[in-house]
């Protein structure tokens, strides 16, 4: 497996992990009180939108070649970093609420 394939596999694995965590968060939101549920649902929607963007960038990366691959990779790295930050913030808020 080349470096490109390894990088793509790493990103795919991270996105799958976040998808599973998103499902867990949805389950917890369903059991939460009204106020907490509304907040969690807002966070879930934000995370889902960012995750969808990362998935699209990953598809672009797989289709890209040569120099375009490097450009797309750079954009994907920023998108994944933004998603990681959003996850950290959401989990932090979720823990503060004692959920």
Ranges of each domain in the chain? 3-96
Listed in sequence order, the DSSP H helices in the chain are 3-31, 34-63, 66-96
- Mean pLDDT over 16-45 rounds to 88
pLDDT at 97 (0 to 100)? 58
Distance CA 72, CA 64 (A): 7
Q: What pTM was computed for the model? A: 0.83
At a CB cut-off of 8 Å and minimum separation 6, what does 71 contact? 64
- Mean pLDDT over 83-98 rounds to 78
Q: How far apart are the first and last CA of the chain?
A: 42
Structure confidence by residue, pLDDT tens digits, 33-57: 888 888 888 889 999 999 999 999 9
Band the pLDDT of 99: cuts 50, 70, 90.
Answer: very low
């Amino acid at each position: 497996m080349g470096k490109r394939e390894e990088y793509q596999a790493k990103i795919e694995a991270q996105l799958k992990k976040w998808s599973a965590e998103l499902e867990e968060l949805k389950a917890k939101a369903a059991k939460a009180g009204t106020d907490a549920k509304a907040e969690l649902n807002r966070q879930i929607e934000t995370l889902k939108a960012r995750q969808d963007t990362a998935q699209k960038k990953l598809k672009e990366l797989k289709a890209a070649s040569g120099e375009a691959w490097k450009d797309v990779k750079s954009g994907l790295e920023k998108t994944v970093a933004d998603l990681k930050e959003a996850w950290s913030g959401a989990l932090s808020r979720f823990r503060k609420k004692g959920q």
